[in-house]
Structure 1
Amino acid sequence: MPTQRADAAARRAQILDAADAVFGQHGVTAPLDLVVERAQVGRATLYRNFPDRTALVEALLQRTVNRIARQVQTLGDRDDALFEVLEGMANRIVQSPALSDYWRAVDPDQIPIRAARETIFELLREPIARAISAGLCRPDLETTDISLISGMLGAALRGKTRDERARLATRALQLLRGGLRGPADGEG
């Protein structure tokens, strides 16, 4: 029985990888047959795992939240963990622009979106506190500011190519780092 569960988990991950690639290339409205083809599974397998497109997109969102959780755990007590996570978020925007754009466009009060946002706030609570304590970050930064920061990073979506998005994301991170440090002593 454990082998069957492992196979099912592997197929689910395979479908998510395929959906991520297909949506990244063709947008979230791409035909699900492209996901089936790329994942090399049958339609029934796709729909057994994800009954509709919404379930598939929500699973990709949860996967992103899980990646952030793993990254925060891996970074441990590093004072700069917040900045590493922000860099990871920027990279995700570069790699998967269609999904990032979709998540920015949907109603932020939808239950899965709100739950993901609240989970990310909680995951970043300690990294923010450590960055503030270490003097790496302005003392008035709040967890809810992560939504605003994410929106700023989302400006990288204006890039038409992966290279353009990467350049824009890098520049946004540079500007954000300066802004997150806060004004220099004696400034407004």
Structure 2
Amino acid sequence: MNKPQGRPMKARPRILEAARDVFLEHGVDVSLHLIAEKARTTRPTLYSHFPGGKDQLLVETFSFLNDRLQPPLQQLLNDKQQDLPALLLGIARMIQAYFFSPANIHFQRLLIQVLVQRPEIFSNLAQRPTGRIRDTLAQVLAQFNAEGKIQLDDPNLQSTAFLGAIMGYAFPAALIGEVPVDQVWLDKLALSAVETFLRAWQY
């Protein structure tokens, strides 16, 4: 017996979830029929949402996964908005937990593989909204700076530097390596980055 088709308005996120699972399990050389079947929808419905086919679906899935960081980030901002050390440490741990997760590392590798084989896809990826976490952190730093609690010249540049510090060289190493990153070491990196930047900002 065939499974009931989902309502069109709800099909898009379900397709993206299914695409993530199928890409992670089978790689990128899979049929759209398999993704549609996993999403409990049809190929025409899939193409109506993603007319660019598999290439567009891969890029959209990457963006969809990154968007998942926004709700917990906003919750963290609401809870720790007056506590800069706790806020920075929370952001660091949240980003590390997401980007260093085995599933995300695997998906990033798949995306890099496709970009190497078909570099024209990069232009589509480059057009996607980026830097929202950086921009949000920059706004927080600008507010603390305006209140005289820290001292810095360029909140955007400083937020970029902080996010780079909490990832370090460990992220590219994780992409090309086989051994999972030591979580204890990552947490020490986060703590060190927070302490170093707060001292530099004269908090």
Using the size of structure 1 for normalisation, the TM-score is 0.66
Over 3 Å counting, the alpha-carbon distance change for 1:74 and 1:18 in structure 2 is same
Aligned residue identity for 1:89: I
Larger Rg: 2
| Residue of structure 1 aligned with 2:182, choices 168, 172, 180 | 168
Q: Distance in 2 between matches of 1:158 and 1:170?
A: 20
CA displacement at 1:15 relative to structure 2: 0.7
Deviates more, 1:48-57 or 1:21-30: 21-30
SS in 1 for 2:129: helix
Q: Distance in 1 between matches of 2:140 and 2:128?
A: 19
1:99 corresponds to 2:100: no
Partner of 2:92: 86
Partner of 2:3: none
Partner of 1:122: 135
Alignment of 1:1-188 (within 5 A): 7-51=7-51, 52-77=53-78, 78=80, 79=84, 80-93=86-99, 94=101, 95-102=103-110, 106=115, 110=123, 112-113=125-126, 115-127=128-140, 142-145=158-161, 146-147=163-164, 149-150=166-167, 152=169, 154=171, 155-157=173-175, 160=178, 165=180, 167-169=181-183, 171-182=185-196
Deviates more, 1:31-40 or 1:12-21: 31-40
Structure 1 ranges of 4+ moved more than 6 A: 130-135
Give the aligned length.
Answer: 172
Q: Distance in 2 between matches of 1:54 and 1:153?
A: 28
CA displacement at 1:183 relative to structure 2: 8.7
- Structure 2 unaligned blocks of 5 or more: 1-5
Deviates more, 1:175-184 or 1:115-124: 175-184
CA displacement at 1:127 relative to structure 2: 4.7
Asked if structure 2 preserves the Cα contact closer than 8 Å seen for 1:152 and 1:172, the reply is no
State, as a whole percentage, how many aligned pairs show the same letter: 22
Deviation string 1:103-144 (CA, Å, 9 cap, x unpaired) is 56758x846436533333212224556899889xxxx97122
- Structure 1 unaligned blocks of 5 or more: 1-5
Over 3 Å counting, the alpha-carbon distance change for 1:38 and 1:174 in structure 2 is farther
Q: Aligned Cα RMSD in Å?
A: 3.8
Over 3 Å counting, the alpha-carbon distance change for 1:151 and 1:175 in structure 2 is closer
